[in-house]
Amino acid sequence: MPDVDQVLRALGIVVVTAPLVFTVLLGLSSIIGRRLSEEATTRLGHGTIVTGLTAAITILGIMLWYDKHHVEIQLGNWVKIQQHGTPTGESEAPGEAGNHDTATHDTVGHDPNGQEIATHETAAGAATAGPADEPSAGGEEHHHLYHFSVKVVFDRLSVPFAILSFVLSGTIGAFASQYVHREPGFNRFFVLYAIFVQGMVLTALAGTIETLFTGWEMVGLSSILLVAFYQERPAPPRNALWVWVVYRVSDAALLLAAVVMHHLKGEGDFDRFLGQGEWPRQVSALDPQQALIVGLLLLVAIAGKSALVPFSGWLPRAMEGPTPSSAVFYGALSVHLGAFLLLRISPLLDVSPVLSVAVVMLGLMTAIVAHMAGGVQTDIKSALSFASLVQVGIIVSEIGLGMRYVPLIHLLGHACLRTLQFIRAPTLLQDYRTLENAIGEHLPHGQAGIERYRIWLYRWSIERAYLDSILSEYILYPFLRIFRWCDGMERRWTDFLSRGTSRDSDQVQSAAGGIDELA
C-alpha cells in the first residue's frame, strides 16, 4: 500500500507530465508531417486537461486532509557538474535535497536505487552540509560546480494557480475546438496551446528559478506565435514581433536575476533565497541590498510579462490573435504571470521596503494608465485588455502593500471573470440585441468618463500614455539608426576592398508589404 508521500509524488508527476505528453504528441506529429485529426487533437487536449486537473485537485484534497501546506517533489538534477571526480548524471537523491535546511517541509524523492522514499527534513539536517557539498559513497567530497535541479512545489500559492491554469485552459480548449474548427491553422493553434499549458503548469509549480524560467519562456514563445496566428495579414506578425521584443527584455532580466541568485546562494532553489517555511510566511535569506538588486531585476521581468508600465503597449497589440488565445493568455493567465511571480518572491518585498514601494508605485501607475487608455478604446478586445491591466495593476499594488491572500484571491477571481468576458466578446452585439429585445427598449449608453477631460488628456489616453512612442523614440529607433549606420560603413569598407560593388544581396527583390517597426 503506497503511503501518502508516494501518492503525492505520483500525482505531482502526473500534473507535470500530462501537458508534456500532449505537447510531445502534437509537436512530433507536426514535425514528421503526420498531423492528428481535429477530433483526435480535441480529445487528446480534453484528456490532458482532465487528467492534470484531477491530479491537481486530488493533491489539494490530500494536502487539506493531511494538513500539509508545502510539498516538494524533487524530480532530480537535469544537469550536474561535480568539481572533483567524474560528473554524474544520476538523479539526485532526496538526501541531497535533505541537506537543504528545511524545518517543516516534506520532500518526496527517489534514492539512487529507485526506491521511493520520503524525508521529513529537520533543522538538524540543515547543518550537515552546505548547499553545494555532498559526501560521495567513498567518503570523497564532491563540490557541485553547477547543477540544474528540477523541483516542483505544491503549496498554497502554486496549487490554486495550477488548478486555475487547468480550468481556464480546459475551458478555452473546448471553446477553441469550435472557434478554429476547419481553420487551416487548427493544428498550429493546438500545438501552441499545448506548449502554453505546459509552460503555465511548469511556471506555477516551479520550485527552482531555472524551472520557472523554462516555463516562462514556453509561455512567451507560444504567446507571440499565437498573436501572429492570422499570419496572412501584416499587422499580426508586426505586433507579434513587438511583443517578442518586450518578452526578450523580460526574459533577459529574469535570467539575470536567476544567475545573480545562483551566484549569491549557490543554487536556484526558491527556498535558498526566499527562506524556509511555508508561503507566505517565509523569511528571505537575502540582505536588503541583495533583495533589492534581485527584486528590481525580477520587477523588470514581471513588468514585461504582465504589461506593466512602461511595457503596457504590447497588451492591445496582442489582441490580434484569435479570441480564445487572447482570452486565456492576455485576459486570464499570461497577464497574471507577473503577479504570480511577485507573490512567489514576496519574501523579498518583506526584506526591502524600497522594493515594496517600487512595486506599489508601478502597480498604481499601470492601473491609472490602463484605466485612462481603456476608457477611449473603440474595440471590445482592447477595452477588455486594458480593463484586465487595471486589475493587474491593482493586484501588484496589493502585493507591494504587504497583502498576500487578498491579491491571490483577486487574481483567481479576475482571471475567471475576464475569461468569460473575452469568450463572450465576439457575440457582444448579439447579446445586447437579445437583451434589448427582451426588455423592449435600448440599453442606456454610459457616458465615457474621458469625455469630461480636456482634449490633451484624451490624446494622452488614446496614445496609451505615449509609452510605445517613448520606447520607440528613445530606445528602438536610436538602436536601429546606429546599426544601420554601421551597416552602411561596412558596405563602404567591403566595396573599397573589392574595388567595386560587394553586395549581391542589393539586387534581391521581393513582393508584399513591409514589416517595419523593426525595419
Work out whether 224 is an interface residue with another protein (CB under 8 A).
Answer: yes
Q: Smallest distance from the beta carbon of 376 to another protein, in angstroms? A: 29
* Sole residue written with cell 504587504: 402
Work out whether 437 is an interface residue with another protein (CB under 8 A).
Answer: no
Q: Supply the DSSP string of 376-412, one letter for each residue.
A: T--SHHHHHHHHHHHHHHHHHHHHHTT-SHHHHHHHH
Work out whether 259 is an interface residue with another protein (CB under 8 A).
Answer: yes
Work out whether 207 is an interface residue with another protein (CB under 8 A).
Answer: no
C-beta of 234 vs 402, nearer to another protein:
234
Distance CA 182, CA 321 (A): 17
Q: Which residues within the stretch 161-200 sit at the binding site for another protein (CB under 8 A)?
A: 184, 188
Q: Which residues within the stretch 275-294 sit at the binding site for another protein (CB under 8 A)?
A: none
Number of residues that bind another protein (CB under 8 A): 74
Work out whether 62 is an interface residue with another protein (CB under 8 A).
Answer: no
**CA R_g for the chain:** 25
Work out whether 122 is an interface residue with another protein (CB under 8 A).
Answer: no
Q: Which residues within the stretch 323-382 sit at the binding site for another protein (CB under 8 A)?
A: none
Work out whether 497 is an interface residue with another protein (CB under 8 A).
Answer: yes
Work out whether 503 is an interface residue with another protein (CB under 8 A).
Answer: yes
| Single residue of 26, 218, 226, 362 touching another protein by CB under 8 A | 218
Mapping DSSP to helix (H, G, I), strand (E, B) and coil, where does residue 108 land?
A: strand
H or E stretch at 335: none
* Sole residue written with cell 442606456: 444
Pairing of strands 70-82, 106-110: parallel
Q: Smallest distance from the beta carbon of 58 to another protein, in angstroms? A: 27
* Sole residue written with cell 476608457: 375
Q: Smallest distance from the beta carbon of 226 to another protein, in angstroms? A: 13
- Give me the amino acid identity at 316: P
Which span sits near another protein by CB under 8 A: 53-61, 165-173, 220-228, 344-352? 220-228
Work out whether 296 is an interface residue with another protein (CB under 8 A).
Answer: no
Measured at the alpha carbon of residue 147, what is the angle toward residues 275 and 244, in degrees to the nearest 5? Answer: 85
Work out whether 416 is an interface residue with another protein (CB under 8 A).
Answer: no
| Single residue of 428, 435, 443, 486 touching another protein by CB under 8 A | 486
Map residues 127-166 to x or -, x wherever contact with another protein holds by CB under 8 A: ------------------xx-x------------------
Measured at the alpha carbon of residue 109, what is the angle toward residues 107 and 115, in degrees to the nearest 5? Answer: 140
Distance CA 274, CA 57 (A): 26
Which span sits near another protein by CB under 8 A: 174-182, 309-317, 380-388, 480-488? 480-488
Work out whether 32 is an interface residue with another protein (CB under 8 A).
Answer: yes
C-beta of 470 vs 518, nearer to another protein:
518
In the Cβ-directed half-sphere of 467, how many Cα atoms lie within 13 Å?
24
C-beta of 255 vs 417, nearer to another protein:
255
* First CA to last CA distance, the chain: 64
Partners of 77 in the β-ladder = 149
The residue ranges of DSSP E strands in 406-483, in sequence order, are: none
| Single residue of 178, 437, 447, 510 touching another protein by CB under 8 A | 510
Mapping DSSP to helix (H, G, I), strand (E, B) and coil, where does residue 442 land?
A: coil
Which span sits near another protein by CB under 8 A: 278-286, 332-340, 366-374, 504-512? 504-512
C-beta of 228 vs 390, nearer to another protein:
228
Work out whether 455 is an interface residue with another protein (CB under 8 A).
Answer: no
Work out whether 78 is an interface residue with another protein (CB under 8 A).
Answer: yes
C-beta of 155 vs 320, nearer to another protein:
320
| Single residue of 39, 67, 441, 504 touching another protein by CB under 8 A | 504
Distance CA 99, CA 514 (A): 57
Burial group, residue 282, by CB count within 10 angstroms (0-12, 13-18, 19+):
buried
Q: What are phi and psi of 408, to 5 degrees?
A: -65, -45
